[in-house]
Structure formats: structure tokens, C-alpha cells
Amino acid sequence: MGTPEFAVASLDALLKAGATIAGVITAPDKPAGRGMELQQSAVKKYAVDNGLRVLQPEKLKDPVFQEKLRQLNADLQICVAFRMLPETVWNMPPMGTINLHGSLLPQYRGAAPINWAVINGEKETGVTTFKLQHAIDTGNILLQESFPVGADDTAGIVHDTMKAIGARLLVKTVDGLATGTITETPQTIAPNETIHHAPKIFTETCLIHFDNPVKAVHDLVRGLAPYPGAFTFLNGKKLKIFKATAQYTIPNVPVGEYQTDGKTFLSVACADGLLDLKEVQLEGKKKMAIEDFLRGYQFK
């Protein structure tokens, strides 16, 4: 069960490892583009190309869908980047349902674990396979694997790293469950442990507040790149910032003010430093390197 490209890596790894895929459940085709033509999910495209049976329910509680799912007679269900499942679905197969989550649980439970780990400046994150149960992202842990997050890594870079590591971990998990060599471990939170959450990203999350320390601003930019993109305003127009660097020198202009030579650099003053913009997109324009942006932009 999955929809985006992130889930394709796991499906591909399972298929190549010799797993028998009884069926693939993904989102219904959706209209997109100027012509609003129906577009298949990344998972459906892969499944069709590989001759796998596909189910695309509008509603997971639909009795007709659930009966088709039951007829697949799957021993185990696997959920990667999909919707919240009702109990009648996740509790259907004899071995239950496992989920691949993009964090080291119990940290970063929620819809956007990759983004929030980077936004919070984590130096390490990872992936977890766990058994689904009633409360979201709280099931017993099966396996985990961590990896470092570089100081300039974006959410996109972490996503791609995690996609590959997660696919391998999922295959290892399925093998372990099949051979009975994995022990489920309940999620525990130490008395003094700070738990970070990973709620859905909203527009207000993406607005940059330059009165924060420059590291926090830089981490926000990294954590929202390449999507949906952190933004500010330049002469009344939204300016998305996809790449930047932090300069830890006290600015000589007020917080939020811009500095530029009009050719090679554009910096914004933060509470304790400067954010040097490297890749931006002005409202109504395409994404471009800062030199290209400055070449065509006239400051008022």
C-alpha cells in the first residue's frame, strides 16, 4: 500500500527480493496538468509495468474494496507513504500490517517526519518498521536504522537517502517476520526524553521569520526544500528560497533587510547573522540560481 515515488523503492526491493506480491493498493488516478488529464500514482505506474494487480479504492472503509482485499489472501500487508488505515484493513491479514516510517520512532510521529527532522536541525535521523495499531505511529517496533544528516542537507536529500535505506530495511523486516527472527519491541519514552512531533506542513509553517537565529532560518529553508519551499516577500511578491547558506557574522542592517551587490549575492539579515540566498523563485517566475535572478531583477 503506497502512492508516491518513496513507496516505489520499497515495492521494487520486495519484488527483486523474491516476495510474492498479491496486490498493490494505491490512490485513485487524479486529474493534473493544464489538460486536467487523469494521472496515475508513481506506485500504480510501477505496478502496471510489472504486471501486478492494482486496487484503487476511493474509500478504505468501502465494503466492496475490503472484500477484494480479503480475496487477495495476503499473509502480510505493508504500508509505505499511504493513508491512515481503518482497523478492518490493517488487522485483516494473519501477520498484520507493517509500516515503514521516516524517523527513529517514537521521535517524529506524524505526517512530515523528514521535513521536521531537518527543520529542527537534527544531525541524525533514520527509518523504522513497526506493526500498525490503533494510535498513529505508536505500534511495536520491528527494526530501525539511522543515518547522519549533513549541515547543508535538504529534506529532498534526506528523502532520497531514506528511500533507499528504508527499502532495504523493509526487505530485512519481511524476511525476519517470515523466519520468526524478529522480536517486536514496544515504543517507550524515557522520563526526561523530549519528543518531537511531525505534523502536516501548512502555509504558515513555510513563512520565514528573520528575527530568529540564522541557523534556525537556514534549517527551515533546508527542511522545506524542494517542497513546499520556505518563503518571504520581496517588494510585495512571494519569494521562495530553496537553497541558502548561513553566515555567522553580525549584520549591519536591521533584521529582515536585504543586502546585495545586484550581481552575485543577496543576503537577508537574521537575529545573529546573514542568510545568503543561493536558489530562489519569485512569484510567477521559474526557479533559478541567485546570479540569474539578480541579472533580471530590478530592486526598487
Sequence ranges of the binding site for (6S)-5,6,7,8-tetrahydrofolate: 103-106
98 three-state secondary structure: strand
**Amino acid in position 67:** E
Q: At what angle do helices 155-179 and 5-16 cross, to 10 degrees?
A: 30
Strand-strand pairing, 77-80 and 97-101: parallel
Residues annotated as binding site?
A: 103-106
**Exposed / middle / buried, residue 284 (Cβ in 10 Å: 0-12, 13-18, 19+):** exposed
Task: Give the separation between CA 88 and CA 47, rounded to whole angstroms.
Answer: 24
Enter the C-alpha cell of residue 153: 542537507
Task: Give the separation between CA 110 and CA 10, rounded to whole angstroms.
Answer: 20
**Amino acid in position 29:** D
Task: Give the separation between CA 168 and CA 181, rounded to whole angstroms.
Answer: 17
CB 147 within 8 A of CB 161: yes
Task: Give the separation between CA 23 and CA 34, rounded to whole angstroms.
Answer: 32
Per-residue exposure over 35-45, b if at least 16 CB sit within 10 Å of its own CB, e if not? eeeeebbbbbe
